[in-house]
Amino acid sequence: MMPILQQFLSEARELLQSITGKLLELEKAPGDPELISHLFRSVHTLKGNSGLFDFPEISRVLHATEDLLSVVREGRLAFSQELADRLLGAMDFVALLLAEIQAGAGGGAADAQTAVRLAGSLRELIVIAPAMADTPLEPGSSGDWPAAASTLPLDAVPEVLRTAWREAARAAEPLHGIVYSPASDCFFKGEDPFHQARQTPGVVWHRVSAARPWPPLAELDPYQCALRFDLVSTAPRSALDEHFRYVPEQVAIVPLTLLLLDSAPAAGATAHDVPHAQGGEDGPHARGAEDAPHARGAEDAPPDTALLKVDQEKIDRLMSLIGEMVVAKNGLPFLAARAETVYGVRELSREIKAQYAVINRIAGEMQDAIMQVRMMPVSGVFQRFPRLVRDISRKLGKEVLLTLEGGHTEADKNIIEALAEPLVHLVRNSLDHGIETPDVRRAAGKAVEGRLLIRASQDSGRVIIDISDDGKGIDPGVIKRKAYAKGIIDQTMLERISDQDAVNLVFAAGFSTAETVSDLSGRGVGMDVVRNAVQRVNGSVTLTSEAGRGTQLRLSLPLSMTATNVIVIESNQQIFGVPMDMVLETVRIPRSAIRSIKNRQTILLRDRVLPLRSLNELLERHLPQVSNELDEMAALVVEIHGESLGIVVDDFREVVDIILKPMGGILDGVPGYCGSALLGDGSVLMVLNPKELVLWQ
Amino acid sequence: MAMTYKRNAAVFAGTIGIEEAEALLAWLHDHPKPKLDLAACTHLHAAQLQVLMAARLPIAKWPDDAGLRNWLKSALSVP
């Protein structure tokens, strides 16, 4: 199986699971807009993915699902039990298809029929919704085509042929009449009905006619398909269904029985003096016609030398190879040290070091070059915003001027992809909660048109995305009270917290509930989701807001996420790595400075009380940490959910760049570890995740 | 390659894509009595087919490709 298909299947399954889960949640909270838009997004992603492959049935059902959900999301149709039932049924069908694809089967004719039926039943619900006239759904996909094709014009068939067919029918050989009426907008979907008709297997008779009388040539719209194809084929039903599987709703296939053939009035055999193609004659020529354009296309195409399309997997392989190279290279300094200390040849040690410097430089450049290949401009993500902003602002009755800057800023493909969803979320928030309606703005003495600026820039190895609006901002007072009411902060915090810190409370988990959406003056819709998505790629979000003046959000993301900078620490005669971006600082603290407050060890660091935990204790080894000869303890200061914590270790070692490999197999999912990496001397470094270690306890 | 227009003749060759349909329509409009030469044509897009069907013009040279010739003859000779 193609790896990309494999990936699609696993992603699709995850998405389906989340879709089903959301549908069930929605049944409990039918009005939750957050859930609905999540649901919509998942369906949308899944549909988009399935479109990459040859799975018309899946795309068909998901397309209908998406249409239906968008109506629900816009509040034009209430979420009902009936709706949930049909959607769940459709998702079950998609799951079934996925299983068939996984098993290498699938694509059966029955599936196509089921897909059409399910899509129809979903669209049926949309029709029930009132006021749907303002957004027509998919013109031509199902609506404007007459429900059932009119019957095959058998009377136009020469008698000779019909006699032959009668015999075939008597012998119970397959014989089907096909009426193929392409949708009028089918050209815009890249279809060529004539080609489709010509390629139909086993055609023994055909007729092309106009679906409606031709207008005068001057009024003809060549891009509106008005053709109708009538075909008779000797191919088995399954082959025909397969052939027309992308357009099942435009095709009517009926088996030609003796009865049907006989009931047609006799036609003059002279009606067509053109000898129609018989299977035998048509076959080889049809094939020739198919081959020719391919050959010609290859000749005509200008040689494309500037661009090369490469499978992402190949790049990834290069990436992991250079990673190993960097690791292998790091072995040279060890070798140099051994040459000097163990074998006592200083000269050789120096030469190895010189050679290392060269290899180091080349490896660095190589890594850089490979990363460049994976770089994509953020404009790919940006391009959806003009439309999004226009649609949302129109819906909310607001006037918004969107400015996009720095679209050429580049970052790793994975980062760009991870950026898309949080950004959409933030922009939506800005429009929904930030920018006021024209009346309110006028009353506040602001320009009627709200401003939304999205700017990307690069800053010392990171991509910075700023989203700022000149809306009403966030009132820290409201946030404080809300956070207190929700138990996110306690009484003392409530009194002491600064306005800036208070505003950032919107990122706290549990802040984003349906209740806060409606009565919170600022943002808060799923901000923890945004933060988590950004943190997954080692990024950060900061928010500043001034009530009445606007809100600025800043996403800071690494340019790439391949090499990880870790500090190596020692504890209990073992070494571990800790990602540098989690470490605020390293400090040496005299043992005497450690105080116990209620069984908890703390120290006073720059006038602030810093709680301490020992790494041995976190790893459940009941040993005291070792101090150095000056009786000082080594502590890593890390930030966990905005709070500083000192983790006491035995000793610090060097800081290294490593290629972090996630844990696999049985170790997969062991909490407290980010993954592992190979060190220059060939040993394995386990990389800790302090956040998980502390919270897991 | 695909479509070439001479003084009063349109020559179809190879596979004719949908993008030519509008040009053909315009050209037919300007040349009421054209000579249509499809000898070297192997396939034409349904949009072109429509134009030819709607134009109801005689074909000077039918395609050499037997498959296409069959289809076109039946399509273009339907009254």
Considering only CB atoms, A226 lies closest to which of B50, B71, B74, namely B50
State whether B67 and A285 contact (CB < 8 Å).
yes
Mean pLDDT, rounded, for A345-371: 88
**pLDDT interval class at A271 (50, 70, 90):** very low
What is the full DSSP assignment across A459-524? ETTEEEEEEEE-S----HHHHHHHHHHTTSS-HHHHHH--HHHHHGGGGSTT---HHHHHH-SS--
Angstrom distance (rounded) from CA A464 to CA A461: 10
**Which residue in chain A is spatially nearest to B64 when comparing CA positions?**
A285
Which of A192, A205, A206, A224 would best serve as a mutation to test chain B binding (most B beta carbons within 10 A)? A192
A271 touches chain B (CB under 8 A): no
Angstrom distance (rounded) from CA A573 to CA B28: 88
The closest alpha carbon to A634, from A618, A653, A617, A620, belongs to A653
Range of the structural domain that residue A366 is part of: 312-374
Considering only CB atoms, B46 lies closest to which of A207, A217, A225, namely A225
Give yes or no: residues A400 and A493 share one domain: yes
Angstrom distance (rounded) from CA B45 to CA B18: 5
State whether B1 and A296 contact (CB < 8 Å).
yes
Q: What is the pLDDT of residues A294-306, one digit of tens each?
A: 434 444 444 445 6
In this predicted structure, which of A41-55, A57-71, A124-138, A558-572 has the lowest mean pLDDT?
A: A124-138
Angle at A452 between CA A451 and CA A457, to 5 degrees: 130
Give yes or no: residues A177 and A116 share one domain: no
Rounded to a whole number of angstroms, the distance from the CA of B74 to the nearest CA of chain A is: 6
Q: What is the pLDDT of residue A293?
A: 40
Considering only CB atoms, A222 lies closest to which of B21, B43, B75, namely B21
Angstrom distance (rounded) from CA B8 to CA B48: 18
Q: With a cut of 70, say whether residue A262 has pLDDT above it.
A: no
> What CATH code is carried by the domain that includes residue A180?
3.30.70
A188 touches chain B (CB under 8 A): no
Q: With a cut of 60, say whether residue A133 has pLDDT above it.
A: no
Work out whether strand A410-412 and strand A450-459 pair parallel, antiparallel, or are unpaired. Answer: unpaired
Which of A157, A194, A212 would best serve as a mutation to test chain B binding (most B beta carbons within 10 A)? A194
Higher per-residue pLDDT: A449 or A525: A449
State whether B67 and A282 contact (CB < 8 Å).
yes
Rounded to a whole number of angstroms, the distance from the CA of B10 to the nearest CA of chain A is: 17
> What CATH code is carried by the domain that includes residue A393?
3.30.565.10
Give yes or no: residues A467 and A497 share one domain: yes
Phi, psi of A643 (to 5 degrees): -115, 140
* B65 vs A contacts (CB less than 8 Å): 285, 288-289
A652 touches chain B (CB under 8 A): no
With respect to residue A567, please indicate whether it lies within any of the assigned structural domains. yes
**Which residue in chain A is spatially nearest to B20 when comparing CA positions?**
A222
State whether A208 and B68 contact (CB < 8 Å).
no
* A218 vs B contacts (CB less than 8 Å): 29
Mean pLDDT, rounded, for A338-367: 89
With respect to residue A306, please indicate whether it lies within any of the assigned structural domains. no
Q: With a cut of 80, say whether residue A517 has pLDDT above it.
A: no
A342 and A383 Cβ atoms separated by less than 8 Å? no
B26 touches chain A (CB under 8 A): no
A248 and A112 Cβ atoms separated by less than 8 Å? yes
Q: With a cut of 50, say whether residue A519 has pLDDT above it.
A: no
B13 touches chain A (CB under 8 A): no
Q: Which residues of B, range 28-57, sit inside 8 Å of A by Cβ?
A: 28-29, 42-51, 53-56
Share above pLDDT 70 across residues of chain A, in percent, rounded to a whole number: 83
Angstrom distance (rounded) from CA A371 to CA A558: 12
Token reading at A9: 């299947």
What are the Cα distances from residue B37, in Å, to A617, B12, B58?
Answer: 88, 6, 10
A215 touches chain B (CB under 8 A): yes
Give yes or no: residues A389 and A243 share one domain: no
Q: What is the pLDDT of residues A392-439, one digit of tens each?
A: 887 788 888 888 888 888 888 878 887 888 888 888 888 888 888 888
B75 touches chain A (CB under 8 A): yes
Question: How many A×B Cβ pairs under 8 Å?
Answer: 115
Angstrom distance (rounded) from CA A235 to CA A200: 9
A185 touches chain B (CB under 8 A): no
Give yes or no: residues A106 and A19 share one domain: yes
Give yes or no: residues A551 and A505 share one domain: yes
Work out whether strand A600-605 and strand A176-180 pair parallel, antiparallel, or are unpaired. Answer: unpaired
With respect to residue A287, please indicate whether it lies within any of the assigned structural domains. no
A198 touches chain B (CB under 8 A): yes
With respect to residue A674, please indicate whether it lies within any of the assigned structural domains. yes
B4 touches chain A (CB under 8 A): no
With respect to residue A295, please indicate whether it lies within any of the assigned structural domains. no
Angle at A499 between CA A494 and CA A502, to 5 degrees: 55
Instruction: For residue A193, give the 3-state DSSP assignment.
Output: helix
**Residue A163 CB neighbours (<10 A):** 11
Q: What is the pLDDT of residue A455?
A: 92
What is the full DSSP assignment across A284-328? HHHHHHHHHHHHHHHHHSPP--S-----HHHHHHHHHHHHHHHHH
State whether A194 and B55 contact (CB < 8 Å).
no
**pLDDT interval class at A522 (50, 70, 90):** very low
Rounded to a whole number of angstroms, the distance from the CA of B4 to the nearest CA of chain A is: 16
End position of a domain, from candidates A357, A374, A391: A374
In this predicted structure, which of A78-92, A475-489, A508-522 has the lowest mean pLDDT?
A: A508-522
State whether B18 and A223 contact (CB < 8 Å).
yes
With respect to residue A639, please indicate whether it lies within any of the assigned structural domains. yes
Considering only CB atoms, B46 lies closest to which of A227, A277, A296, namely A227
Mean pLDDT, rounded, for A660-669: 73
> What CATH code is carried by the domain that includes residue A61?
1.20.120.160
Angstrom distance (rounded) from CA A574 to CA A684: 11
Q: What is the 3-state secondary structure (H, E, C) of A620-686?
A: CCCCCCCCCCCCEEEEEEEEECCEEEEEEECEEEEEEEEECECCCHHHCCCCCEEEEEECCCCCEEE
Considering only CB atoms, B53 lies closest to which of A214, A281, A289, namely A214
Q: With a cut of 50, say whether residue B62 has pLDDT above it.
A: yes
State whether A192 and B46 contact (CB < 8 Å).
yes
Angstrom distance (rounded) from CA A57 to CA A325: 46
State whether B45 and A215 contact (CB < 8 Å).
no
Q: What is the pLDDT of residues A584-599, one digit of tens each?
A: 899 998 888 888 888 7
Give yes or no: residues A568 and A678 share one domain: yes
Residue with tokens 């302090």: A690
Q: What is the pLDDT of residue A299?
A: 42
**Which residue in chain A is spatially nearest to B54 when comparing CA positions?**
A214
With respect to residue A343, please indicate whether it lies within any of the assigned structural domains. yes
Partners of A463 in beta bridges: A458, A557
Q: What is the pLDDT of residue A307?
A: 67
**Which residue in chain B is spatially nearest to A275 when comparing CA positions?**
B70
Considering only CB atoms, A222 lies closest to which of B43, B47, B66, namely B47
Range picked from A353-357, A408-412, A653-657 for highest mean pLDDT: A353-357
Mean pLDDT, rounded, for A434-448: 86
A644 and A604 Cβ atoms separated by less than 8 Å? no
B49 and B73 Cβ atoms separated by less than 8 Å? no
Strand (E) or helix (H) holding A596: strand A595-597
What is the full DSSP assignment across A320-346? HHHHHHHHHHTHHHHHHHHHHHTS--H
B7 touches chain A (CB under 8 A): no
B32 and B55 Cβ atoms separated by less than 8 Å? no
Q: With a cut of 80, say whether residue A119 has pLDDT above it.
A: yes
Q: What is the 3-state secondary structure (H, E, C) of A244-262?
A: CCCCHHHEEEEECCHHHHH
End position of a domain, from candidates A90, A112, A128: A128
B18 touches chain A (CB under 8 A): yes
Mean pLDDT, rounded, for A477-487: 80
Strand (E) or helix (H) holding A157: none
**pLDDT interval class at A521 (50, 70, 90):** very low
A157 and A232 Cβ atoms separated by less than 8 Å? yes
Phi, psi of A61 (to 5 degrees): -65, -40
> What CATH code is carried by the domain that includes residue A676?
2.40.50.180
With respect to residue A303, please indicate whether it lies within any of the assigned structural domains. no
Give yes or no: residues A11 and A111 share one domain: yes
Rounded to a whole number of angstroms, the distance from the CA of A299 to the nearest CA of chain B is: 11
B66 touches chain A (CB under 8 A): yes
Give yes or no: residues A62 and A200 share one domain: no
Higher per-residue pLDDT: A387 or A454: A454
Angstrom distance (rounded) from CA B43 to CA A459: 55
- CA dihedral (A518, A523, A526, A529) in degrees, to 10, reads -170
How many structural domains does chain A have? 5
Give yes or no: residues A334 and A412 share one domain: no
Which of B12, B27, B33, B43 would best serve as a mutation to test chain A binding (most A beta carbons within 10 A)? B43
State whether B70 and A210 contact (CB < 8 Å).
no
End position of a domain, from candidates A354, A374, A394: A374
Give yes or no: residues A391 and A478 share one domain: yes
Q: Which residues contact A44 (CB under 8 A, 6 or more apart)?
A: A66
Give yes or no: residues A527 and A394 share one domain: yes
Mean pLDDT of chain A: 77
